[in-house]
Amino acid sequence: MENEKILLEIKNLTKTYESGDTKVKALADVTLTVYEGETVGIVGESGCGKTTLGRCVVRGIDATSGQVLFHTREDGVIDFLKATGAQMKKNRRDIQMIFQDPYASLDPRMTVFDIISEPLRYNTRMSKKEIEQAVDKIAEQVGLNRAFLRRYPHAFSGGQRQRIGIARSLILQPKLIVCDEAVSALDVSIQAQIINLLEDLQKEYHLTYLFISHALSVVRHISDRVMVMYLGRMVEMAKTEDLFSDPRHPYTQALLSAVPQPDPDRKIQRIVLEGEVPNPAAPPSGCHFHPRCPYKTEKCEKEYPPLIEQGDRCVACWRCAEDK
């Protein structure tokens, strides 16, 4: 993607939680480049660091080390991890988040109008009339009836609440939206509606998405590229169709083999991993996946593999490095 404009650069991002003598590395040296207008899917088992990555990017939590370089509208490239409060407030409108739980992410004491308009009141100097016009417009775009704006969140279904959350994240016309399991709490039919809505809004506003999800079929539908994480690290990154048609990392192969197939005549060999996900407070030596890997060697047990570039993809696997 050499001709695309870079929007976000994540470099060696690490997040460590400490409690007494125990240290848990939720993220370890994650590096990722995101281009304007694309959707990057982030997948992996629960606890692999997907949500931590998203929250570090928007600075919902502070990373321990690394860089989150955001290409802003006016101030050039800013490292969010070192930005001052004034810098973050100025550029906060460019990066927003859609949260996983549409029930917990909306204040039950605020009307829908107040929820959607709150970012405008804090980040702009728009008049009351201008704010009302902006809220009416975005409500219509996300499929919310204007009559709903004076109601409270408890009056709405999960799908409607998620539309409210999407409207809130879009009201400032951001450049990047982090979607943290944005459809996982919804019924399948409602999921399809929200995914179609996100795609339509992306085309209209030229949005860029970091789409965090464990629903691999949804990720395949909406993403341009997919990053696979395991125990806080990136293990594979590739264009979506390349990853799903030809996964290289053994963990990716096992992950994709579990995806249900709509064709009953198509036989997929299920790869069942032995053992459990290692304790992140005491990860195994070498490649963290080696205790569950059917291809492990002595080298895998001693040394963690670097990310090996293979065309448009990168893979952290000694076996793939030998096949390069």
pLDDT 10s digits, 166-192: 999 999 999 999 999 888 877 888 888
Average pLDDT over residues 152-158: 92
pLDDT score recorded for residue 101: 85
pLDDT score recorded for residue 169: 93
Contacts of 2 (CB under 8 A, 6+ apart): none
pLDDT class for 2, splitting at 50, 70, 90? Answer: low
201: Cα separation from own chain's centroid: 17
Contacts of 225 (CB under 8 A, 6+ apart): 38, 39, 40, 41, 237, 238, 239, 240
Query: Are the beta carbons of 166 and 193 closer than 8 angstroms?
Result: no
pTM over 0.95: no
pLDDT score recorded for residue 138: 93
pLDDT score recorded for residue 263: 65
- Burial-class residue 271 by CB neighbours within 10 Å (0-12, 13-18, 19+): middle
DSSP letter assigned to residue 87: H
- Give the integer Cα–Cα distance in Å for 308 and 270: 26
pLDDT score recorded for residue 275: 76
Least confident of 35-49, 74-88, 123-137: 74-88
Query: Are the beta carbons of 110 and 170 closer than 8 angstroms?
Result: no
pLDDT at residue 90 tops 70:
yes
Average pLDDT over residues 93-110: 90
Looking at every residue in the chain, the average pLDDT score rounds to: 90
pLDDT score recorded for residue 93: 87
pLDDT class for 127, splitting at 50, 70, 90? Answer: very high
DSSP letter assigned to residue 290: G
Question: Which ranges constitute the DSSP H helices of 78-187?
Answer: 85-91, 112-123, 128-141, 158-170
Q: To 5 degrees, how large is the angle CA 228–CA 274–CA 239?
A: 20
Percent of the chain with pLDDT over 70: 95
pLDDT score recorded for residue 259: 75
pLDDT at residue 271 tops 80:
no
- Give the integer Cα–Cα distance in Å for 245 and 154: 43
pLDDT at residue 33 tops 80:
yes
pLDDT class for 24, splitting at 50, 70, 90? Answer: very high
Instruction: Pick 258 or 223 by higher pLDDT.
Output: 223
The DSSP bridge partners found for residue 177 are: 96, 209
pLDDT score recorded for residue 276: 80
Least confident of 45-49, 108-112, 199-203: 45-49
3-state SS of the chain: helix, strand, coil percent to 5?
A: 35, 25, 40
pLDDT score recorded for residue 182: 87
